[in-house]
Amino acid sequence: MAAQTVATPAAVPSAGAPAVDLGPASALSCRECGTRFELGPIFACVECFGPLEVAYELPVGTGSSEDVEALRAAIEAGPNNIWRYAPLLPVPADVAGKPSLNPGFTQLVDAENLAKELGVTGKLYVKDDSGNPTHSFKDRVVAIAVEAARAFGFTTLSCSSTGNLAGAVGAAAARAGFRSCVFIPHDLEQGKVVMAGVYGGDLVGIEGNYDDVNRFCSELIGDPLGEGWGFVNVNLRPYYGEGSKTLAYEICEQLGWRLPDQIVIPIASGSQLTKIDKGLQELIRLGLVEDKPYKIFGAQAEGCSPVSTAFKAGHDVVRPQKPNTIAKSLAIGNPADGPYVLDIARRTGGYVEDVTDEQVVEAIKILARTEGIFAETAGGVTVGVTRKLIENGQLDPALTTVVLNTGDGLKTLEAVAADSGQTATIRPSLDAFRAAGLA
């Protein structure tokens, strides 16, 4: 049933099960007007053109302590990947037995050395998603999208990507038995190009930036050429986005089923930030964590900072920008979820900040030097913004704070290669070592 996004979806009937098995997912719901639709490969409301997201019949009905403990026990007994949270995701109950890269349950690093460097007196953690199969958080979202693609009968997986997503789609498609064809800006970092191309699918460079790539994919999806294609971040976007919730689930579980006080999240499209907030809210409603205030902070590079610009100006509308930054994985000049990021930052008492490319490079080095974590440029953005927020008094250094590192620095070597090489080159003798002043 490889239906296309342009088809008009049917409204969800008041009773009856959905036609596909996506576990607790019961419908798609418009984030703006609330209209509900049957589960399908659609992403925009036909009533108001608002974005659609997955609505659930969540597993805890009564909210009793017995129900809560049973759910917590079931999660803790699950596999050490995102499928431990299958009862909270749009996936079939038997998902853990299907071919998958099985991402997730990455390290929450107790970053004591970084805390000292930044002047943090409370607890500081780095959620290090570079440990995923293709070394970025994108493996999470793609894993969920693959299950939706299976349910809807697609044969080709595709996406528009700033790099990490292209690699995640290529790898997941190879593992799950799909054909893949992904689209990227023509001038991406070489590490990301190689990683996206090695899995054997088609990798197509588009002349232009990410927004140009995304527009092209939107045209392809409505054309007969796109029949049978599942675009993970377009017609499968509602399901894809739910993968980011697993970051919230893991952070809270790894903190002993507690909410962090503050969390700093990089902004590209803004979807990750909005879904982490959704995940935190779900855990509160389910009774898995104690309800308490938390603050969400967004991080951007100055060379592509439409959301931070709007936040600081007090605007509700995000004006597009032309990206010009080394943080190419965040270089989305017209972020789809930008307005929702503004709402969440303001609702939680957080902030949206940006840093220069020079500050990004410095932050990459600080994280590597203090914690042994080599982050890609997006991680440099979050650490750099965290530092700036502390210096400006917007982030409380006495509270428990989690900073996200979403990818591996081996993908963006160009950012730090100029001054991160050999300390010295010497002859193989002790005298030469002494002469170099290294003893």
Q: Locate the DSSP E strands across 104-238.
A: 108-110, 124-128, 156-160, 179-185, 202-206, 229-231
Which residues, listed in sequence order, are joined to residue 32 by a DSSP beta bridge? none
Q: Rounded to whole angstroms, how far apart are CA atoms 164 and 9? A: 31
Q: How confident is the model at residue 58 (pLDDT cuts 50, 70, 90)?
A: confident
pLDDT at 15 over 60: no
Helices (H), 95-137: 112-118
Q: In what order do the strands lie in the sheet with 295-301?
A: 108-110, 124-128, 401-405, 262-266, 295-301, 352-355
pLDDT at 302 over 60: yes
**Hunting for tokens 């403990």 — which residue is that?**
69
Contacts of 32 (CB under 8 A, 6+ apart): 45, 48, 50, 51
- Record the tokens describing residue 30, joined without a space: 């418009």
Q: State pLDDT tens for residues 157-214.
A: 999 998 899 999 999 999 999 999 999 998 888 888 998 999 999 999 999 988 899 8
The answer to whether residues 262 and 234 touch, using CB atoms and an 8 Å cutoff, is no
* pLDDT (mean) for 283-289: 95
Torsion of CA 378, 129, 164, 32, to 10 degrees: -80
Q: Rounded to whole angstroms, how far apart are CA atoms 160 and 218? A: 9
Q: Rounded to whole angstroms, how far apart are CA atoms 299 and 305? A: 9
The answer to whether residues 386 and 115 touch, using CB atoms and an 8 Å cutoff, is no
* pLDDT (mean) for 281-310: 97
Query: Pick from 14, 150, 156, 161: which is nearest to 90 by CA?
Result: 150
Percent of the chain with pLDDT over 90: 85
The answer to whether residues 333 and 323 touch, using CB atoms and an 8 Å cutoff, is yes
- Record the tokens describing residue 372, joined without a space: 């042994």
Q: Rounded to whole angstroms, how far apart are CA atoms 81 and 278? A: 19
Greatest Cα pair distance, the chain, in angstroms, is 83
* pLDDT (mean) for 331-348: 96
SS3 336: coil
Query: Pick from 55, 32, 51: which is nearest to 43 by CA?
Result: 51
How does the average pLDDT of the chain come out, rounded? 92
pLDDT at 11 over 60: no
pLDDT at 431 over 80: yes
Say what angle helices 65-76 and 245-254 make with each other, to 10 degrees.
100
Q: How confident is the model at residue 63 (pLDDT cuts 50, 70, 90)?
A: low
Contacts of 194 (CB under 8 A, 6+ apart): none
* pLDDT (mean) for 300-327: 97
Contacts of 57 (CB under 8 A, 6+ apart): 24, 26
DSSP state of 205: E
Q: State pLDDT tens for residues 23-43.
A: 999 999 999 999 999 999 999
Q: State pLDDT tens for residues 253-271.
A: 999 999 999 999 999 999 9
The answer to whether residues 258 and 151 touch, using CB atoms and an 8 Å cutoff, is no
Of 4 and 115, the structure prediction assigns the larger pLDDT to 115
Q: Rounded to whole angstroms, how far apart are CA atoms 172 and 204? A: 17
Q: State pLDDT tens for residues 87-106.
A: 999 999 999 999 999 999 99
Contacts of 171 (CB under 8 A, 6+ apart): 101, 133, 134, 139, 199
Q: State pLDDT tens for residues 242-254.
A: 999 999 999 999 9
